[in-house]
Amino acid sequence: MGGWTGQFLRVNLSKGVCSKEKLDPTIARDFIGGRGLASKILYNETDPKVDPLSPQNKILFATGPLTGTGATAGSRYMTVTKSPLTGAIASSNMGGYFPAEMKFAGYDLIIVEGKSEKPVYLWINNDQVEIRCAEHIWGKTVWEVEDLLKAETDEEAKFASIGPAGEKLVRFACVINDKHRGGRSGVGAVMGSKNLKAIAVRGTKGLKVARKDAFLEVVMAAMAKLKAAPVTGQGLPTYGTPIVVNIINAHGFFPTRNFQEGVFATANKISGETMRETTLIRNKACFGCPIACSRVTEVKEGPFKGVGEGPEYEALWSLGADCGIDNLEAVTKANYLCNELGMDPISVGATLACAMEMYEKGIISESDVGRSLNFGDPEALVEMTEKAGRREGFGNVLAEGALRVAQKYGHPEFFMGVKGQEFPAYDGRGAQGMALNYATSNRGACHVRGYTIAPEVFGIPLKMDPFTTEGKAAIDKAFQDITAIVDSSGLCLFLTFGIGMEEILPMLEAATGAGYNMENLLKAGERIWNLERLFNIREGFTAADDTLPKRILEEPIPAGPAQGKVARLSEMLPEYYRLRGWDEQGVPTNEKLRELGLA
Amino acid sequence: MKVKVQLFATLSLYLPRGVENRTATLDLPEGASVAEAFRVLRLPDDLPKLILLNGINVKEDARLKEGDVLSVFPPIAGG
């Protein structure tokens, strides 16, 4: 077989021991890799109800069989753990160059367990693995850490690290790859709780695929198709994800001021088009990607001066419209701070927006915050982003995430999210499929578990009316299962804007030779989704958690194209459970578990 | 009648010079269609487009009325 290296690394920080273990090929085939394989291992090896920030929790860095192989956009891995933000399973997807380098060093996964007494970092140089002292870099930002560790490891090494936010257990802290790529659900805080500052890796071994000629043929065909498709060949390379700002705003479900409105009147000021005309320097690609959607940007002068990457669409929304801010330079600066300090900008902006609403309603006072906290204030955005990342002043409150902020002040109804994780940049009232996906996503509110915006807005692969609930349960299930395959293979989800399962299946099969066909591969996606569900059920989550905030269910969007709309979850959820083969309480039936080999 | 036409991303090239917020105001005959508005702006027929009329998806044969806002995008996705 190929694709997988067949080996993983286990690092026990309590004992200071690193060991290499063989991957079970049957488990690898059935759970593919990445998100699926790591979820399986986490499920098997951790006890339910474990405190996410205790030494008993584990964090897995998991590549897929296509990561680093040269497969189109095979750049991704997942960090999988129990989330300190949600208490549910966390799988945080990242690209860049670190995941491929991990494979080149010879590892499909790195499992980190226990807790080091003192700050350490891991230095993996092919077969040599060392746990090294990190006291001299504790407290440093992600950007500083990478530069310092390059000097003491290898100029060509790649890094996954945490900033001050991870060290201080900010509940939405990220692990950041290659300075600028992080994910959601607070996985950085788990790394921080283990006193693990960074992983540096250098790999020079290369990878094998099972059927080289067939693999190259399908990869070349996929590359050509991605180049020819307007979204992946033109839209994303030219404008990046920020291209989406104006179209979501034009549909009237661009959440504004903590979801009080669906249209942000000055959205164009923080759009992809405006970024291209002002802050953009050039675009940039992850390993093996022909799309190159990343943005290298610069704010040339003024109070928000800086150079870095982003913001992406999601951050333009969370740090921008959700906080009522249309100052692109301030939003860009806040995004740089998120990368430097190691935080998820979605949660940062969404938590701040929640606090801003409570401030404007007189629930949070100026003395609580130490300053005013009105919507639309760019200075407040930048100051509070930095303070959250360092847990200073009111930032220590924000660092707990929007649900806990809203609960602290006695108004949980102002938390806009699901299962403790804040919503991303689409109001489910205007896109019913996305509302259902938010309610059922295994890691709390998440758009990239079942990105139904593709059919509901962009017409990919077919156009669906965003306001109807008809057919949404089926499309959600299909998208969620296919996304589990993409995530577990080590591919980037954005490929699916240009290619589909008819390319992904032969790519995976040619690389692995594991005997995948359309039927058993789709079953693997469904298996992964159900396993994550079982993890959450074991943690105490029930059907009552598959819901949305009262505002989204009952308060209509006040104006714009989606005026009068609410999320009609009750029209979709029972059908969704039925299609999934779950009982009325959202629990997989024994029959379904047997069918998936999970019984 | 006057309608506003917003052209985004690569379609911005077809906006008249000097317009703000990527929005052109067109003076069209009563009951003109989306396709007629596109002809005024010289938007090529063969360019694929996502068309929103007051935020709702429509096709090129949809009729316009005074005060309408037409938002037009090339095929895009992301986020």
Span A434-470, pLDDT tens digits: 999 999 999 999 999 999 999 999 999 999 999 999 9
CB-based contact A246 B48, cutoff 8 Å? no
B12 at interface of A, judged by CB pairs closer than 8 A: yes
CB-based contact A247 B50, cutoff 8 Å? yes
CB-based contact B78 A463, cutoff 8 Å? no
Cα separation, A267 vs A246, whole angstroms: 7
User: CA torsion A318→A322→A326→A330, rounded to 10°?
Assistant: -40
Whether residue B40 is contained in a domain is answered as yes
Nearest Cα of chain A lies from the Cα of B39 at a distance, in angstroms, of 22
Please name the member of A235, A312, A426 whose beta carbon is closest to the beta carbon of B76. Answer: A235
Whether residue B31 is contained in a domain is answered as yes
What pLDDT, on a 0 to 100 scale, did the predictor assign at position A370?
A: 98
Query: Average pLDDT of A360-370?
Result: 98
A89 at interface of B, judged by CB pairs closer than 8 A: no
Strand bridging mode A109-113 / A7-12: parallel
CB-based contact A459 B52, cutoff 8 Å? no
Do A468 and A371 share a domain, yes or no?
A: no
Do A176 and A248 share a domain, yes or no?
A: no
The total number of residues shown for chain B amounts to 79
Contacts A236 to B, Cβ<8 Å: 76-78
Chain-wide mean pLDDT for chain B? 95
Please name the member of B56, B73, B77 whose beta carbon is closest to the beta carbon of A460. Answer: B77
Do A418 and A443 share a domain, yes or no?
A: no
- Quote the percentage of chain B above a pLDDT of 70: 100
A496 at interface of B, judged by CB pairs closer than 8 A: no
| Residue linked to tokens 């079982």 | A534
Q: In CATH, what number is assigned to the domain containing residue A11?
A: 3.60.9.10
| Residue linked to tokens 């399908």 | A218
- Least Cα distance to A536 among A427, A435, A420, A428 occurs for A420
Contacts B21 to A, Cβ<8 Å: 268
Nearest Cα of chain A lies from the Cα of B46 at a distance, in angstroms, of 13
Domain count, chain A: 3
Structural domain ending residue among the three candidates A422, A447, A470: A422
What pLDDT, on a 0 to 100 scale, did the predictor assign at position A180?
A: 85
Residues A288-340 pLDDT 10s = 999 999 999 999 999 999 999 999 999 999 999 999 999 999 999 999 999 99
Please name the member of B50, B73, B79 whose beta carbon is closest to the beta carbon of A453. Answer: B79
Domain of residue A502: give its range: 432-595
Whether residue A507 is contained in a domain is answered as yes
Whether residue A223 is contained in a domain is answered as no
Contacts B15 to A, Cβ<8 Å: none
| Residue linked to tokens 């758009």 | A447
- Least Cα distance to A241 among A279, A272, A275 occurs for A272
Query: Which helix (DSSP H) or strand (DSSP E) does residue A521 occupy?
Result: helix A518-538
CB-based contact A313 B78, cutoff 8 Å? yes
Largest alpha-carbon pair distance within chain B?
Answer: 38
Q: In CATH, what number is assigned to the domain containing residue B68?
A: 3.10.20.30
Query: Average pLDDT of A46-57?
Result: 97
The total number of residues shown for chain A amounts to 599
Integer CA distances (angstroms), B55 to A190, A480, A561, in order? 42, 27, 5
Structural domain ending residue among the three candidates A371, A391, A422: A422
Tell me chain B's radius of gyration from C-alpha atoms. 12
Question: Which of B12, B13, B51, B76 is most worth mutating to test chain A (most A CB atoms within 10 A of its CB)?
Answer: B76
Phi, psi for A559 (deg, rounded to 5) = -155, 170
Phi, psi for A564 (deg, rounded to 5) = 85, -5
Whether residue A349 is contained in a domain is answered as yes
Do A195 and A117 share a domain, yes or no?
A: yes
| Angle of the A345-360 helix axis to the A378-390 helix axis, nearest 10 | 120
Contacts B13 to A, Cβ<8 Å: none
Chain-wide mean pLDDT for chain A? 97
Do A418 and A436 share a domain, yes or no?
A: no
Nearest Cα of chain B lies from the Cα of A84 at a distance, in angstroms, of 25
Do A247 and A272 share a domain, yes or no?
A: yes
Domain count, chain B: 1
Do A145 and A278 share a domain, yes or no?
A: no
Phi, psi for A233 (deg, rounded to 5) = -95, -25
Largest alpha-carbon pair distance within chain A?
Answer: 67
Whether residue B12 is contained in a domain is answered as yes
Do A440 and A380 share a domain, yes or no?
A: no
Nearest Cα of chain B lies from the Cα of A14 at a distance, in angstroms, of 39
Between chain A and chain B, how many beta carbons pairs sit less than 8 Å apart?
A: 96
B33 at interface of A, judged by CB pairs closer than 8 A: no
What pLDDT, on a 0 to 100 scale, did the predictor assign at position A449?
A: 97
Cα separation, A582 vs A526, whole angstroms: 12
Whether residue A2 is contained in a domain is answered as no
Whether residue B79 is contained in a domain is answered as no
- Least Cα distance to A496 among B78, B55, B39, B31 occurs for B78
Residue A39 has, within 13 A of its CA and on its CB side, a CA count of 34
Integer CA distances (angstroms), A462 to A475, A503, A520, in order? 11, 18, 25
Residues A252-282 pLDDT 10s = 999 999 999 999 999 999 999 999 999 999 9
Q: For residue A535, what pLDDT band results from cuts at 50, 70 and 90? A: very high
What pLDDT, on a 0 to 100 scale, did the predictor assign at position A1?
A: 81
Contacts B71 to A, Cβ<8 Å: 246-247, 250
Please name the member of A240, A251, A273 whose beta carbon is closest to the beta carbon of B78. Answer: A240
Strand partners, B33: B63
Query: Average pLDDT of A43-66?
Result: 97
Contacts A451 to B, Cβ<8 Å: 79
| Residue linked to tokens 């990478």 | A146
Query: Average pLDDT of A107-123?
Result: 98
Please name the member of B12, B54, B78 whose beta carbon is closest to the beta carbon of A244. Answer: B78
A238 at interface of B, judged by CB pairs closer than 8 A: yes
Query: Average pLDDT of A177-200?
Result: 96
Contacts A313 to B, Cβ<8 Å: 78-79
CB-based contact B52 A463, cutoff 8 Å? no
Q: Which residues contact A321 (CB under 8 A, 6 or more apart)?
A: A249, A254, A255, A256, A257, A264, A267, A270
Structural domain ending residue among the three candidates A422, A440, A466: A422
What pLDDT, on a 0 to 100 scale, did the predictor assign at position A108?
A: 98
Which tokens belong to A308? 């870095």
Do A403 and A463 share a domain, yes or no?
A: no
pLDDT at A77 over 90: yes
Do A413 and A447 share a domain, yes or no?
A: no
Do A182 and A295 share a domain, yes or no?
A: no
Cα separation, A581 vs A583, whole angstroms: 7
Query: Average pLDDT of A481-486?
Result: 98
Whether residue A213 is contained in a domain is answered as no
CB-based contact A235 B78, cutoff 8 Å? yes
Q: In CATH, what number is assigned to the domain containing residue A440?
A: 1.10.599.10
Residues A493-521 pLDDT 10s = 999 999 999 999 999 999 999 999 999 99
Whether residue A580 is contained in a domain is answered as yes
Domain of residue B29: give its range: 2-73
Strand partners, A522: none
Query: Sheet containing B56-57: which strands, arranged edge to edge?
Result: B23-27, B2-7, B69-73, B50-53, B56-57
What pLDDT, on a 0 to 100 scale, did the predictor assign at position B20?
A: 87
Work out the end-to-end distance of chain B between its first and last CA atoms, rounded to an integer number of angstroms: 36
